[in-house]
Amino acid sequence: GATIGILGGGQLGRMLSVAASRLGYRTHIYEPGAAPAGDVAHRVTNAPYEDEAALRAFAGSVDVITYEFENVPTAALDLLESIRPIRPNRRALAVSQDRLTEKDFLTGIGLTTAPYRNVETEADLPAALAELGAPAILKTRRMGYDGKGQIRFKDADSRDWTGAPSVLEGFVDFSAEISVIVARGADGQVAAFDPGLNVHREGILRTTTVPSGLPQALLTDAVLMAARIVNALDYVGVMGVELFVTPGGLIVNEIAPRVHNSGHWTQAGCAVDQFEQHIRAVAGLPLGDGQRYADVEMENLIGEDMDRVPELLRAPRVQVHLYGKGEARPGRKMGHVNRLL
Ligand code: ATP
Ligand code: MG
Ligand code: MG
- Domains along the sequence of the chain with CATH: 3-86 (3.40.50.20), 115-170 (3.30.1490.20), 176-340 (3.30.470.20)
In the chain (341 residues long), the average pLDDT of successive 10-residue segments reads 95 98 98 91 97 98 96 95 98 96 98 98 94 95 90 86 96 97 98 98 95 98 98 98 97 98 98 98 98 98 97 98 93 97 97
Residue 26: count other Cβ atoms within 10 Å of its Cβ: 18
The one-letter amino acid at 70: E
Residue 340: the pLDDT is: 98
CA distance 45 to 57: 9
- CB 324 less than 6 A from any atom of ligand 1: no
DSSP letter for 25, please.
-
- Cα 255 to ligand 3 centre (Å): 8
Per the annotation, binding residues are: 99, 139, 144-150, 169-172, 177, 200, 253-254
Concatenated DSSP letters for 323-339? ---S---TT-EEEEEEE
Q: Do the bridges between strand 3-7 and strand 26-30 make them parallel or antiparallel, or are there none, so unpaired?
A: parallel
- Judging by beta carbons within 10 Å of its beta carbon (0-12, 13-18, 19+), is residue 189 exposed, middle or buried? exposed
Residue 197: count other Cβ atoms within 10 Å of its Cβ: 19
ipTM: 0.98
Of the CA atoms within 13 Å of residue 142, those in its CB half-sphere come to 11
CA distance 38 to 41: 5
Q: Which helix (H) or strand (E) holds 231?
A: helix 216-232
Per the annotation, binding residues for ATP are: 99, 139, 144-150, 169-172, 177, 200, 253-254
> Which of 106, 242, 245, 253 for a ligand 1 pocket mutation test, highest count of atoms within 8 Å of Cβ?
253
Helical axes 52-60 vs 74-81, angle rounded to 10°? 40
